[in-house]
Chain A
Amino acid sequence: MDAGGSRIVHTSFFYRSQEIPHKKSGLSMNFKKFILNRLLLSIVVIFGLSIVIFCIARIVPGDPARMALGATATEHALETFRAENHLKEPLPMQYVYWIKGVLTGDFGISTMTKRPVIQDMMEFLPATLEVVILAAVFLVLGSIFLGRLAAKHKDSVLDAAVRVFSYAGVAIPGFVLAVLLLLLFGYVWPIIPVLGRLSHGIAAPPGITGMYTLDSLLSGNFSTFGDAFLHILTPALALCAGGMFQEARLVRNAMTENMGKDYLAAMEGYGVPKRLIMNKYLFKPSLIPAVSCMGMDIAALMSNAFLIEVIFGWPGISKYGMNAMLAKDLNAISGVILIFGTIFVVINIIVDIIVAYLDPRIRLGGGKQ
């Protein structure tokens, strides 16, 4: 039979599904165009974001020179600062100076740390990425595992537990969970370290990526890896817990809804192994709604990490960005938000590609569903 331009061929004993598109296997031309369009649009989005954040950072009340140097700075110092940062130029010219620097990797000097912003970001970004990546892994694997478990044991204790935890995930803010984990593991049941990136007396691994877990693995220092991993566990859990249980619920609901579909009954009737039905024909389409939410949640992890970083003493870029906003550090604010925006855009593109992989209608239709 035909379904949207493809043919489904199957044998009677061993089910073999073979979709034969009009073209050879691989991405369709339409889909390649779709990805290219997305990439080009993303550049426009990032450019627009840079203009918006630049303008907002400079039009909020307060003299940036005074905020940077303090109320007691001499007039000469203030004038020097204004000249160095082109604060007396018209706003469009200030933007041109700034974007020229950004394109060459120069985000200016942070008035908070008195160092180049790019240096601050290279120091703090890996720390946040480390937590976010682990949190994302927990979020994806945990939500899939729990969602499948709940769907498989529908209406059981496990299913109820996942439901209760998903409500809790919505209700409990991440920073509250962080404090609870801190008190639990740092105070009541101190089985794992909770503060900082490494235990006292353990030297940091060679700075290859800036992520201690990865750097210690790359340099073969497994004891440092173990210590760093234990330190990162609680911040990552606090960051991902809410989203993980919510997505688990989405996976569970989608799977239970699809369980009643006719095509699955037909496959079962044809003798397709139950494991294959569960893992491929039920699971894959059920994952689509959850993947979109996962993408948004993972992208939001970066900015949500601020309070987690403060509570766990984690020297990351989210905390740096928030302190920059409180100190009205224009260069740092602009740099951090641009980075966050870029990461957000990249993650959205990745999510689109994953969804396209999961849903052949998108892949074959060139991004249109």
Chain B
Amino acid sequence: MKKRTISAVLSILMILTLLIGCGGKTAAPSPSAGQPASGGEKIIRISQSPGGKIDPGIITDYTSCVAAVNMYDSLVYPDLDNKIAPSVAKEWKVSPDGLEWTFTLNKGIKFHDGSELHASDVVFSANRLMTIGEGFAYLFKDYLAKTEAVDDYTVKFTLSKAFAPFLSILPRLYILNEDLVKSHQGQGSYGEFGDYGKAYLAENDAGSGAYTCSEMKVQDKIVLKKFKDYFGTFEANAPDSVEIIMNTEPATIRTMMANQQLDISDQWQTDEAYSALDGINGVNLGSYSNGSVFYLMLNTKKAPTDDVHIRRALAYLIDYAQVTKSLFPGYVKADSVVPKGVLGYTDEYTYDFNLEKAKEELKQSKYANSLASSAVEVDWIADVPDEEKLALLIQATAQQIGLKVNVVKVPWATHVDNVARIESTANATTTFVSSDYSEAGAMLYQRFHSDTAATWQQTEWLKDPAVDGKIKSALTTTDETARVAIYKELQKEAYDNCWGIPVAEQAEKHAYYDYIKFPAMERAAAGKPVAMAMGYNFLFRTFAVNK
């Protein structure tokens, strides 16, 4: 009896300690509990997803782009209005046939080792990117035929065919220090270039950007230090150093922010985690549309979604208001297959939630009399748990109009394998797609050109030569007005044929301390657009640490 009483008391004590630890309002500890930088150094610590790399020739992920845009410069870069602004290049001209692009470089731009940036470095960087064939090489591979240095400060690109958005993709050609990379070549399969400096650049930078890489701890953190000889300008109180911490574990992020060991959170936290972060004294929560569109992709070659009426019915039965209000707070409804604000965007062709229209479409479908045996399989990606919410919403609403929907959870690696074949590609898949550059042509190409069929970017399996031709025609039309007109035609076609359903545009959320000047958030709060290209909302030389 005594033993039982003692055990019961101890058990209750343990449960009480658990409950005490789990609840309660969050109070920020005193500022001294944080870890201020030594000697008055201004520092920004930001969390990002693991896997960040610093070799600009192989990167495509968000974390790596945030690091790269600060360590390296390009000839041009996208400003927060998504307009292309000069950077290393001060001016440029294009030949009338659109095949030759000539850039004049600014003089006196220094690499981090003190040597000057010349046109030959641009040539080396372009050739390196194209030869390795990874990272952002895919943007250039169909168009860039030759890169040459006309003189020390003039570089000329010759294209194999006209590509009107060429300027928009140039921000992804990061300029490396040719001499530094060549002096650190290791053994590899790139002929005279060995490994093209891949081993060296995995842990060192060879750039001219506003920040140098002072520490690269793989899968842990990237530490950047201000480059005092940077050719551009720094905001007053811009950070002297930046730590990109590769960890998105919610409990860890919350603890770090509460202890002022983290200044800006990543964008991968759950809504519950953001609420908790918002509750910390001094922490704000903001969001902006980053150009990433959340699609319900539709397989147009597999029954029953091979019928346009079934596809349209699905488009009409999604409750978009509920998606943006309850399922994904902060997201905005997508009104086109391309993100808002890019050149060529139009909101004229959009589906709304309308069950009556959904029913009418079903009646016109060739499967109208066999709906019970014509189930639509909706796959959602297991690595993004929130996607299940949309799948279940569709299933519940479809049931109301007699359409059967099966919801299937699929790990990303399996999904990538499934979409390589028509028969194993699901009828519908929930996926986020980001635009490669700030023109409608980017998303139209990524989503509907035959080149991307059998990849995760397109499960529609369109493989339509007419569509391919139209997309290519738009991309090679140098006259902007004519190009925009073709973009709009394609958006109408996508709408009429319901090539996939754009559901919402992602809101990229960050929790950040109020002493941080965060330009993109300030613009978003004022209703202005922000940069769509990954990483360019984090040019830390434009940030400020006001404490």
Contacts and interface: CB of A to CB of B under 8 A. Distances in A.
Interface of A: 60-63, 66-67, 69-78, 80, 83-84, 112-115, 120, 123-124, 155, 157, 159-161, 163-164, 168, 179-180, 182-184, 186-188, 190, 194-195, 199-201, 310-313, 315, 319-320, 323, 327-328
A60 B261 CA distance: 40
11 contacts: A70-B134, A73-B134, A77-B134, A182-B252, A182-B255, A183-B251, A187-B259, A194-B255, A311-B249, A312-B252, A323-B50
Contacts of B6: 157, 160-161
A113 B58 CA distance: 11
A62 B416 contact: yes
Interface in B106-152: 132-138, 141
A188 B21 contact: yes
A164 B202 contact: no
A80 to B, nearest CB: 6
A89 B50 CA distance: 32
A63 B255 CA distance: 38
A69 B134 contact: yes
Given A83-B189, A155-B3, A62 B38 contact: no
B456 interface: yes
Interface string B43-58: 0000000110101001
B511 to A, nearest CB: 16
A180 B17 CA distance: 10
Interface in B30-64: 33, 35, 37-38, 50-51, 53, 55, 58, 60
B237 interface: no
Given A62-B414, A315-B217, A323-B219, 12 more contacts: A72-B136, A84-B189, A114-B58, A114-B199, A182-B255, A187-B259, A195-B261, A310-B247, A313-B247, A313-B252, A315-B219, A319-B219
B91 interface: no
A73 B133 contact: yes
B19 to A, nearest CB: 11
B16 interface: no
A80 B60 contact: no
Which of B38, B217, B219 is the most central at the interface, judged by chain A CB atoms within 10 Å of its CB? B219
Contacts of B35: 199-201
Contact of A67 (B7, B247, B254, B413): B413
Contact of A164 (B11, B199, B256): B11
A184 B251 CA distance: 11
Interface in B423-448: none
A120 to B, nearest CB: 7
A313 to B, nearest CB: 5
> 5 tightest CB-CB pairs across the interface, nearest first?
A77-B133, A74-B133, A186-B255, A72-B138, A200-B35
B155 to A, nearest CB: 22
B350 to A, nearest CB: 28
Contact of B251 (A182, A188, A190, A327): A182
Contacts of B414: 61-62
A62 B413 CA distance: 6
Given A61-B414, A84-B189, A120-B218, A71 B133 contact: no
A70 B135 CA distance: 8
A50 B383 CA distance: 29
Contact of B137 (A66, A77, A180): A77
A107 to B, nearest CB: 15
Contacts of A84: 189
Contacts of A115: 199, 202-203, 218
Contacts of B258: 186-187
A20 to B, nearest CB: 45
Interface in B161-220: 189, 198-199, 202-203, 217-220
Contacts of A83: 189
B18 interface: yes
B384 interface: no
Interface of B: 3, 6-7, 10-11, 14, 18, 21-22, 29, 33, 35, 37-38, 50-51, 53, 55, 58, 60, 132-138, 141, 189, 198-199, 202-203, 217-220, 245, 247, 249, 251-252, 254-256, 258-259, 261, 413-414, 416-417, 420, 455-457
B21 A183 contact: yes
Nearest to A328: B413
A113 B417 CA distance: 23
Contact of A72 (B21, B60, B255, B417): B60
Nearest to A116: B199
A201 B11 CA distance: 42
A320 B247 CA distance: 13
A108 to B, nearest CB: 13
A71 B53 contact: no
B55 A114 contact: yes
Contact of A74 (B18, B137, B198, B218): B137
Contacts of A200: 35, 37, 261
B219 A71 contact: no
Nearest to A113: B218
Residue among B58, B134, B247 with most chain A CB within 10 A: B134
A163 B9 CA distance: 13
A184 B219 CA distance: 26
B259 A186 contact: yes
A70 B60 contact: yes
Contacts of A188: 21
Contacts of B255: 182-183, 186-187, 194-195
Contacts of B136: 72
Contacts of B11: 164
A328 B412 CA distance: 11
Contacts of A183: 21-22, 251, 255
Counting chain B CB atoms within 10 Å of each CB, which of A71, A78, A184, A311 scores highest? Answer: A71
B249 A67 contact: no
B51 A323 contact: yes
Contacts of A61: 413-414, 417
Nearest to B39: A201
Nearest to B420: A63
Given A83-B189, A182-B252, A183-B255, A160 B10 contact: yes
A61 B412 CA distance: 11
Contacts of B38: 201
B134 to A, nearest CB: 5
Contacts of B29: 190
Nearest to A115: B202
A311 B60 CA distance: 26
Contacts of B219: 112-113, 124, 315, 319-320, 323
A190 B354 CA distance: 54
Nearest to B139: A72
A123 B216 CA distance: 12
Nearest to A181: B21
B199 A311 contact: no
Given A115-B218, A310-B252, A184 B51 contact: no
B249 A310 contact: yes
Contacts of A164: 7, 10-11, 14
B45 to A, nearest CB: 9
Nearest to B455: A71
Contacts of A78: 133
A262 to B, nearest CB: 27
Contacts of A75: 133
B249 A168 contact: no
A63 B413 CA distance: 9
User: Which one of B3, B55, B137, B252 has the highest number of Cβ atoms from chain A below 10 Å of its Cβ?
Assistant: B252
B457 A71 contact: yes
Most buried by B among A77, A182, A201, A319: A77
Contact of B33 (A184, A190, A315): A190
